[in-house]
Amino acid sequence: MTTSVQPQSPAKPNSGKKLRVLFVCIAIPNEEWSATDLVINMSGYPKQRAFPRSEWHKVEDWDVEDPYGADPLVYQRIFEDIRTRIESLTARLRDGHA
Q: If we measure between CA atoms, which residue out of 59, 78, 58 comes closest to residue 68?
A: 78
Instruction: Extract long-range pairs of 61-69: CB within 8 Å, 24+ residues apart.
Output: none
Query: Residue 2, by phi and psi: left (phi above 0), alpha (psi -120 to 50) or beta?
Result: beta
Q: If we measure between CA atoms, which residue out of 89, 21, 27 comes closest to residue 53?
A: 27
What pLDDT is stored for residue 4 in this prediction?
45
pLDDT per residue rounded down to tens, the chain (98 residues): 544 444 433 334 445 567 677 676 667 788 888 888 888 988 888 988 887 777 888 899 999 999 999 999 999 999 999 999 999 999 998 888 66
CB 21 within 8 A of CB 36: yes
Distance (Å, whole) CA 39 – CA 90: 13
Give residue limits of the domains in the chain: 2-94
